[in-house]
Amino acid sequence: MDTNRLSPTLAKALNDQMTAEAHNAQIYLAYGAWADDQGYSGISNLLFRHQNEERTHMMKFLEYILKRGAKPVITEIASPGEDPVNVNDCFEKVYTYEVKNTESIYNIVNMALAEKDWITWNFLQWFIKEQTEEETLAMDLLSKVKIAGGANANADALYLVNRDMGKMQDSATLAQEVSVENP
């Protein structure tokens, strides 16, 4: 008896997203290694912490595919690509990857909607919220680098950025969590 509750199209999209999350983890891992090698141990610490989150995202997709009765296909992970050329480039790339990832999640939400697969649609809502946080965090990080001088930031400013980022929390606060008393 076939207990697979995912259409072949959705199963493939979810599987591709699982691999994309693993790829994102590789990117954070690579950028963290690059940052530490450049002497930015705080930035590296933040990026290494974040790669763990991406691996968690990968696991969520893997588990979901299994729980819907399909079989995840583990493939090779594409190379993270070139190292950033500087701290500004690093966080511009991080921001771009996060936006790209949100769009990729949107695509699967659209597919679930078209198929009226409400269980998958519901599962993906967690990722919609997560991407709100991810984009906000990436934007915050880029802002920090921008006010430090962006691509022209000097060593003093980067020293502070590095120190700050090492101590930053893993996730950003959502607009929904803010109140008048606690802006």
Catalog residues that contact Fe ion under the rule CB under 5 A. 21, 54, 57, 134
Smallest distance from Fe ion to CB 3, Å: 28
Q: Judged by CB, which is closer to Fe ion: 7, or 136? A: 136
Smallest distance from Fe ion to CB 155, Å: 29
Length in residues, the chain: 183
> Which of these, 83, 86, 93, 92, lies nearest to 153 by C-alpha position?
86
Rounded distance, CA 46 to CA 29, Å? 10
Smallest distance from Fe ion to CB 125, Å: 15
Q: Which residue is nearest to Fe ion (CB)?
A: 57
Question: Residue 135: what residue type?
Answer: E
Q: Judged by CB, which is closer to Fe ion: 26, or 38? A: 26
Q: Judged by CB, which is closer to Fe ion: 54, or 117? A: 54
Alpha helical stretches, state H, the chain: 8-37, 41-67, 87-115, 118-147, 155-167
